[in-house]
Structure formats: C-alpha cells, structure tokens
C-alpha cells in the first residue's frame, strides 16, 4: 500500500478513536512525552457527550463508525489480551455489530444474481430479515420439496462488503508491517501473521460456499455424536453470496431463562458445549471458532445445534497433540512434561533450559490446584501460559489464536448454565481419550507406518536429488569466479524503484509517526 495513503488511513482511525473519547479514557501515566502530548490532544478532540459513556461503549461506537472491518478487528483483538491488555480485551468482548438491515429488494437482487434464477423458481415464500450483521443478514423462507413445503434460513451477503474489506485490510497490513519495522518489541507478537489470520477468516466469511462446505464437513465429523449437530445445507440454493440451510427449531443458549423453562438440564448443556468443542478440536482438528451463545441452540431433544460457521479453526496433528498434552499435564501436575511438549513442538527455542521453563509452568499450575475446581478457568490458564512463554521467546502461534478465543467463549457459556461448572472434570474424559489414541499401541503402529512411507518417499527422490547436485557442482566454478550477474536494464529499474520508495517514504514519515502514536494508545495498549 502507498505509505502516504496508509498513514492517512491510520490517522483517520486515530481521529475517530479520539473523537469518540476512547483515547482520552485511557490513563496517561507512564507514557513517553509524545504519548502524553497525543493524549492531551485527544482529550481536546473528544466529543463533550463522550464523558458520560463507559469506555467500552465509546470503543464500540468508534469501531462501528470506522466500519465493519474495524468491528471484526476489534472482535478479533478481544482474543489477544497479550496485545491490547486484559482490560481492553474484556471491553472488546462486548463489541457487537450495530448495523441496520439492507433493503429487501437488494437481498432479492443478490440472490438472483448469485444463483442465476428467479425468486419464484427458488422459493415459495421469502420473508423478512430475522438477523442482520456487518457481513450478511438472514431471512426466513419456504421451499418446495417432494415431501411438501419446508422452512429454511437464507443468509445473504451485504452488497459492496468485499470491496470495503479489501480496502481496510490493506490499511491493517500497512500498520502491521510498519509496527514490525519500527517497534522491535512487537515482532514477537507477529502482527502481520495476526492480520493474515484475520484476512483468511474474513475471506471465508464472505464466500458463503465455503461456509456451506464447513457445515457439510462438520456434519460428517459429528454424525455419530448424539448431543451435537449442525443444520443441513440446501446446495441447490447456495452460492457465493447466498447460503440456504435447514431452519433450526430450538432456543438460543443466550436465553437461559427460556432454556430452563423448557425443562432442559442446564449443567449437562454446559458440559455438552465444552466437550463438543474439545472433541472437535482434538479428534477432528476442525472446530467452530465463533461458539458464542447466540450461535448455539438447544433443540427439543436436548441436542446442541450450532449455526454461523463463517469462522472455523483448524489444528494440525502437532497442534492437537500439543493442546492435549498441555491440558493433560496440568491435570496431572506434570509440569516437566508440559515444558517438554513446548520444546518438542519447536515453540520454545532450544537455547533455553527445560527445567527452568518447567519451573515457570509450575508457577502457573500450583496456584490453580490450590483452588476449588469450579473456580478454575482453563481459558485463563491458557492466557497465563502464553504470557509466561514470552519470557522464553516463544512466538505467537497464529493457529492457536482462534482456539484460545473459542476456549474463553465456551467456558463462559458453560458457567452461564452452572456457576459451579468444573472445567477439569468436563475436559478430562475427552483429553484422556485423545491421549490414549495418540500414545497407545495403535498410535505407535500408525506412526511407524507413516515413518516408513516417508522413508520410501526419500528413497524415491534420491535420483532427482543426485541430478540436481551434479548440476550445482558443474555450475559452482563459474559462480565462484563471476558471481551473480545483473544486466544494465535490471540495475536501472532497481535504482528507479528505490528512489521512488525513498521519496514516498520521506513524505509519509511524519504522518506515519503521528497516526501510529494515536492508534497505538488504544489498539496496542498494555
């Protein structure tokens, strides 16, 4: 992105945050002189009415003013207290999309354009909006089937949203690259990788075919699970901008009194939500990454039904084993094993000492085991663990970001049904089953087969490797004598590009500094 345009976009974001009183609500103690000056300026800019609102309300208002991309960024940063601090993260957790629905006629236009058919061919009835968010809205409709009319939910993408996200993501990337280049301490947090994860998740959210595929995959994974399911997809009426699925008859889990009044077993529901999430994460390596109670229903038969699979998470075999062994190690108070797992996974550099790292892990685990089980938060445990790993140069793992976020959410759902919910008792059966499957005799045979297959592939590749080595040996004397040659045209092109980059960089330097100073007070406040 052009540095000048990127800097001005950040400056605009900083101005909106200041105008809504977000920056003025932050403490100024401990800031460097430039930060204190920016704080004073933000206090002057703030609306007079901002003083009467809570900071979380100011933050929500500011991000909604900036647009849906910033709302998504805020919701995403709510999962990263190591970046924004615990207090800001808690406030960002309350952030909700506050957008009106788009007109019925535009929804009809999007559906017909995406599916290439008229509404009369697709639906017997197409009703009003039952839910609207920044990316899409949902309508209730009726379709014809051989067994008679069937009620469905139709999700429609908001017009123009993709272009808006692409523009804003360029700004986020510019800010992340600039932060990594100018602030050495932020490099461990890998802000560019974090934006990569955000970009990937929003791409999936905005292609409803991918969400439909996620529903299909999760339905296959959970086909034998008696207490969890997802709605079926109507592929005939699904495209890039439209997703049609079964209508869910049930009660949303965010309506606890209604769930209780229907006679459901509340503590059991909490256990089902948590165990389902852990089972999907470790058994399948594929989990619903937005399991807030508004996306979960309890069906009349007591099963949990999940909707809105726009955000999903994946864990590879290494990450699944890492998660399981860490949780199991804390359950058994085997801190040395927890430390060893970090080193085996390559998450902590080998230059550090396993015993010293185990000592740091013990400092987290022992206070937890001194508490009553129902007060222990596994999500809090993971947060503390990631904080301690900073002392041992463990880089942020983007593939674990969504996992940590969802762990926080599902634990909160369980405790809303049962304040005395015991996370360890709920988790132990699932974790123990996974550990037995990964470390037992069957797992050893499977690993042996995989190792043998890898060895066979290496042997098969040896002839090609030998040819490549022979070519390198022949070319090596010429490389040593003459080096790598660049023709005059290429050299001229490189020089021209470098000059242009230097000029634009100089123009943008002061604007970048001002914009980063203002926005850092909020989005990178520790």
CB 114 within 8 A of CB 132: no
Residues 6+ apart with CB under 8 A from 435: 324, 325, 328
- Which neighbouring-strand residues pair with 313? 287
Helix or strand run (H / E) with residue 498: helix 488-523
CB 365 within 8 A of CB 335: yes
Q: Could you give the CA distance from residue 80 to residue 72 in angstroms, rounded to a whole number?
A: 13
Q: Could you give the CA distance from residue 415 to residue 421 in angstroms, rounded to a whole number?
A: 6
Numbers of helices and strands, H then E, in the chain? 21, 10
Classify 120 as helix, strand or coil: helix
Q: Is 290 a catalytic residue?
A: yes
Length of the chain, please? Answer: 526
Q: How many CA atoms lie within 13 A of 350 on its CB side?
A: 3
Residues 6+ apart with CB under 8 A from 334: 328
Residues 6+ apart with CB under 8 A from 23: 14, 17, 38, 39, 42, 43, 46, 518, 521, 522
- Helix %, strand %, coil % for the chain, to 5? 65, 10, 25
Which residue, 384, 383, 377, is CA-closest to 410? 377
Classify 123 as helix, strand or coil: coil
CB 326 within 8 A of CB 385: yes
Classify 145 as helix, strand or coil: coil
CB atoms within 10 A of CB 138: 20
Q: Could you give the CA distance from residue 463 to residue 243 in angstroms, rounded to a whole number?
A: 50
- Which neighbouring-strand residues pair with 243? 155
Catalytic option among 241, 290, 451, 487: 290
Q: Could you give the CA distance from residue 291 to residue 405 in angstroms, rounded to a whole number?
A: 10
Q: Could you give the CA distance from residue 268 to residue 423 in angstroms, rounded to a whole number?
A: 12
Write out the catalytic residue numbers.
290
């Amino acid at each position: 992105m052009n540095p000048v345009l990127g800097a001005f976009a950040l400056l605009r974001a900083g101005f909106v945050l200041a105008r809504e009183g977000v920056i003025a609500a932050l403490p100024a103690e401990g800031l460097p002189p430039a930060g204190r000056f920016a704080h004073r300026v933000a206090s002057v800019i703030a609306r007079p009415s901002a003083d009467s609102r809570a900071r979380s309300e100011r933050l929500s208002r500011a991000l909604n003013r900036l647009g849906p991309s910033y709302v998504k960024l805020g919701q995403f940063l709510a999962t990263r207290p190591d970046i924004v601090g615990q207090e800001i993260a808690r406030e960002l957790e309350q952030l909700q999309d506050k957008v009106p629905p788009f007109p019925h006629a535009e929804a009809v236009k999007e559906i017909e354009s995406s599916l290439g058919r008229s509404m009369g061919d697709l639906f017997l009835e197409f009703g009003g909006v039952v839910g609207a968010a920044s990316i899409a809205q949902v309508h209730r409709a009726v379709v014809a089937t051989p067994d008679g009319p069937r009620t469905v939910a139709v999700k429609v993408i908001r017009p123009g949203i993709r272009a808006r996200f692409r523009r804003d993501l360029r700004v986020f990337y510019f800010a992340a690259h600039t932060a990594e280049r100018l602030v050495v301490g932020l490099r461990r947090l890998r802000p560019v990788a974090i934006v990569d994860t955000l970009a990937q998740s929003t791409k999936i959210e905005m292609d409803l075919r991918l969400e439909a595929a996620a529903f299909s995959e999760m339905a296959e994974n959970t086909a034998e699970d008696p207490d969890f399911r997802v709605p079926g997809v109507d592929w005939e009426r699904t495209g890039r901008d439209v997703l049609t699925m079964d209508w869910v008859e049930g009660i949303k889990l965010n309506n606890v009194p209604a769930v209780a009044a229907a006679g459901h077993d509340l503590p059991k529901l909490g256990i089902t939500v948590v165990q389902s999430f852990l089972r999907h994460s470790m058994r399948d390596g594929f989990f619903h990454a937005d399991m807030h109670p508004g996306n979960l229903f309890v069906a009349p038969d007591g099963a949990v039904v999940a909707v809105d699979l726009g955000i999903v998470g994946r864990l590879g075999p290494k990450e699944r084993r890492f998660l399981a062994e860490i949780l199991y190690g804390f359950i058994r108070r085997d801190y040395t094993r927890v430390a060893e797992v970090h080193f085996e996974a390559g998450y902590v550099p080998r230059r550090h000492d396993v015993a010293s790292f185990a000592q740091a892990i013990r400092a987290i685990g022992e206070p937890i085991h001194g508490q009553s089980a129902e007060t222990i938060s596994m999500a809090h445990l993971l947060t503390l663990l990631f904080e301690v790993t900073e002392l041992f140069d463990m880089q942020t793992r983007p593939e674990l970001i969504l996992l940590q976020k969802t762990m926080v959410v599902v634990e909160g759902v369980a405790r809303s049904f049962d304040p005395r919910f015991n996370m360890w008792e709920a988790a132990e059966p699932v974790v123990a089953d996974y550990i037995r499957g990964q470390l037992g005799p069957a797992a050893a045979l499977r690993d042996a087969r995989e190792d043998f297959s890898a060895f066979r592939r290496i042997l098969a590749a040896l002839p090609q490797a030998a040819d490549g080595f022979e070519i390198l040996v022949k070319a090596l004397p010429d490389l040593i004598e003459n080096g790598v040659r660049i023709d005059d045209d290429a050299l001229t092109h490189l020089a021209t590009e470098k000059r242009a980059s230097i000029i634009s960089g100089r123009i943008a330097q002061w604007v970048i500094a001002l914009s980063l100073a203002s926005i850092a007070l909020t989005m990178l406040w520790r």
